[in-house]
Amino acid sequence: MQKIGFRYSTLEVAKQLDILGFVQNLTDGSVYIEAEGSEENIKTFIAWCHEGPRWAHVDHVEVEKSAMQNFSIFEIKMS
């Protein structure tokens, strides 16, 4: 089960790193993120996702490459 702050922390980190895309909670209790940015910033963002905000407990991170979606912002999507 996620706490609401995880998505907002993800949004803030994405903005700091000029990452575009979205984050959303899934019905199974996991968090789903699609992200685009420079290779260096994406690597930094993925590293942050493995830790999350200081109060979070991240069990598992799965990373997949996919086609660019050309997002214009980073946003929180509601399930």
Residues marked active site are found at: 7, 25
Paired tokens of 17: 């790193």
> Contact 67/55 with Cβ under 8 angstroms?
no
Category of 52 on φ-ψ map: left (φ > 0), alpha (ψ -120 to 50) or beta: left
